[in-house]
């Protein structure tokens, strides 16, 4: 038998398609999740009890659910409700976005709170509205403070995309498994998969650490 690198090289295009899907899901869900998270965090901090409770309920609900269950809902239950299939990609994307929004919301909330109240007062004192103060003064500083944590969460999200095999999507992990089974090359393929995850996540972590050091200055 021996260690056959050839099988990796041969299946590379197929594997890269899988990796592409994983990255696409990560980027789209992270972007959508952050947008939702800002809305949730602003609701939570609004001081309006109803809004604050809705946001808190949302966050606590999704944080208590296993991600895989959320994916199942959108794949199996939502089609029953709306009368047509959602499709594997969209159910995974929606599930990831809603799920990540709950985690990002807490990060964004902490980020907003990390900006001093004096900055808000300064914005108001020059006649800026609440929305303008948030947009031009608070959120830019908050995002700068929380970028490392947001990226770390995105790395976790990237690893979680391997769950989409449950709705028959071919992400990187699933593609690796298919090749491994078909070619009977489990060791090569799973070692390769581990290496790819390691490289991508390490690169991400290093970038995060560099950002942290830059911001700490």
Residues in contact with another protein by CB under 8 A are 116, 118-119, 121-122, 124-129, 132, 136-137, 140-141, 144
Least distance to another protein from the beta carbon of 143, Å? 10
CB of 52 to another protein, least distance (A): 19
Q: Let me know if 164 is exposed, middle or buried by CB neighbors in 10 A (0-12, 13-18, 19+).
A: buried
Nearest distance from C-beta of residue 187 to another protein, angstroms: 50
Radius of gyration of the chain (CA): 21
**Tokens 């200055």 sit on residue:** 217
User: Closest CB to another protein among 129 and 182?
Assistant: 129
Q: Are 100 and 33 in contact (CB under 8 A)?
A: yes
Q: How far is the CB of 123 from another protein (least distance, A)?
A: 8
Looking at beta carbons only, is 76 or 136 nearer to another protein? 136
The pair phi, psi for residue 87, each rounded to 5°, is 90, 150
Q: Which is nearer to another protein, 92 or 115 (CB)?
A: 115
**Angstrom distances, CA of residue 211 to CA of 30, 81, 192:** 18, 44, 29
Q: Please report how close the Cβ of residue 90 comes to another protein at its closest, in angstroms.
A: 37
Q: Which of left, alpha, beta for 66 (phi over 0: left; psi -120 to 50: alpha)?
A: beta
Residue 47: phi, psi to the nearest 5?
80, -5
| Closest to another protein by CB, 119 or 182 | 119
Q: Which is nearer to another protein, 136 or 207 (CB)?
A: 136
């Amino acid at each position: 038998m021996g260690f056959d690198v050839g099988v990796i090289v041969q299946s590379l295009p197929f594997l890269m398609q899988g990796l592409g899907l994983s990255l696409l899901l990560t980027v789209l869900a992270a972007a959508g999740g952050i947008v939702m998270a800002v809305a949730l965090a602003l609701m939570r901090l609004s001081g309006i009890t109803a809004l604050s409770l809705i946001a808190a309920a949302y966050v606590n609900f999704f944080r208590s659910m296993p991600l895989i269950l959320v994916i199942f809902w959108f794949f199996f239950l939502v089609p029953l409700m709306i009368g047509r299939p959602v499709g594997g990609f969209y159910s995974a994307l929606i599930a990831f976005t809603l799920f990540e929004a709950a985690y990002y919301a807490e990060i964004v909330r902490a980020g907003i709170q990390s900006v001093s109240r004096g900055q808000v007062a300064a914005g108001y004192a020059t006649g800026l509205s609440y929305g303008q103060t948030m947009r031009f003064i608070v959120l830019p500083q908050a995002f700068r403070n929380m970028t490392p944590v947001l990226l770390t969460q995105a790395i976790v999200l990237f690893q979680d995309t391997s769950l989409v095999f449950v709705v028959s999507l071919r992400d990187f992990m699933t593609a690796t498994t298919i090749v491994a089974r078909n070619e009977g090359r489990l060791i090569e393929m799973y070692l390769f998969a581990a290496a790819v995850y390691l490289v991508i996540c390490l690169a991400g972590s290093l970038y995060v650490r560099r950002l942290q050091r830059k911001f700490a200055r």
